[in-house]
Structure 1
């Protein structure tokens, strides 16, 4: 059975995450923030799945960029968790879809989050030089790494949730890139992993 991370957060943070869940449900019929087929299991599939990304940072950081933020997973969830655990961390959420970006701004205002929403494509955004780069369901690893490399600070870490094809994606990516990788089991999907990449360089 998937493990829950609910016990790792304060009551206040938990309430904010529940409010986010309600907000996604309210907006989803109009904007399709998440696949309708996942709404019945929204808490585990999207919120807990994003919470575990935050848990892997391991130490306080001051800058975090989330690429292709979509409905706010993991970016909004991590920014909510950071309010108490890493209050000095500023998030940059990159989302080219104006309607989804509008939703992210509503979240920023409702939860008083320390973040900026950039309504542009990650490859066109000026390099952010972030301590942490995250991206969930944005692109396969070979296409994702140029974007991650562009925005990751020297010594930073990329946290990339991946599905059952993670090993094939890693093998394909190594044709053009070298990196140190730690593969973490997902607490919400037995076939998924969260890949933590450091020292990313072109071959």
Structure 2
């Protein structure tokens, strides 16, 4: 997929596409010395990373104020969502969490250049204040579902929804997670591959 094909497929403005392109340039530059994403995947930035992340927008209500992105890495999906929310005129703030300071330094550099409503924090997910309110919690290539729920459960209060990218073996992850947690699940096929997005709510640890 090319930059122009991405713009046509998503309907975002030329300014927003330019923002994605600048992010891609900074990612290539930083990835030479900091492991943000697999180097081989950067050749397919527009579909594998940008479009893949952007498909979450169809699952995010327009009134959403705060989103937490766990294990943010190179900014997928957090930065993509920040660019898309600005494109749509939404007053949504993205809080990206990663324990590696080099990664959050990169993210904050991109946030500064693009001027989007986001922040990156260099902390471990389990160190987050559970009283902090988010309507949506996202994660992409972060941890197996059972472990991910352990990290995310304090943030997944009543009414908060988890949107988690998973690969083709998601059923195995669901089976394992259900041994330790109860939760509501909606399985949404990915638009860019054979994976899925799990929409998870009402999370409780099995007693």
TM-score (norm 2): 0.90
Q: CA deviation at 1:84?
A: 3.0
Q: Name which of structure 1's ranges 69-78 and 3-12 shifts more when overlaid on structure 2.
A: 3-12
Which of 28, 31, 34 is matched with 1:31 structurally? 34
Is 1:152 the equivalent of 2:156? yes
Match of 1:195 in 2: 198
Q: CA deviation at 1:86?
A: 5.2
Q: Name which of structure 1's ranges 163-172 and 85-94 shifts more when overlaid on structure 2.
A: 85-94
Structure 1 ranges of 4+ moved more than 4 A: none
Change (3 A) 1:8 1:153: farther
Match of 1:9 in 2: 12
Change (3 A) 1:27 1:106: same
Q: Which runs of 5+ in 2 are unaligned?
A: none
Contact 1:65/1:130 (8 A) holds in 2 = yes
For residues 1-203 of structure 1, the aligned pairs below 5 Å read 6-85=9-88, 87-127=90-130, 128-189=132-193, 191-203=194-206
Q: CA deviation at 1:91?
A: 1.4
Q: Which runs of 5+ in 1 are unaligned?
A: none
Deviations 1:183-203 (A, max 9, x none): 1111111x2001111111222
Change (3 A) 1:86 1:150: farther
Q: How many Å separate the matches in 2 of 1:86 and 1:121?
A: 31
Deviations 1:49-72 (A, max 9, x none): 111122221432001000010000
Contact 2:156/2:201 (8 A) holds in 1 = no
Q: How many Å separate the matches in 2 of 1:19 and 1:117?
A: 18
CA RMSD of the aligned region, Å? 1.8
Contact 1:61/1:86 (8 A) holds in 2 = no
Q: CA deviation at 1:181?
A: 1.0
Q: CA deviation at 1:112?
A: 0.9
Q: How many Å separate the matches in 2 of 1:78 and 1:131?
A: 14
Q: CA deviation at 1:153?
A: 3.6
Q: How many Å separate the matches in 1 of 2:16 and 2:161?
A: 24
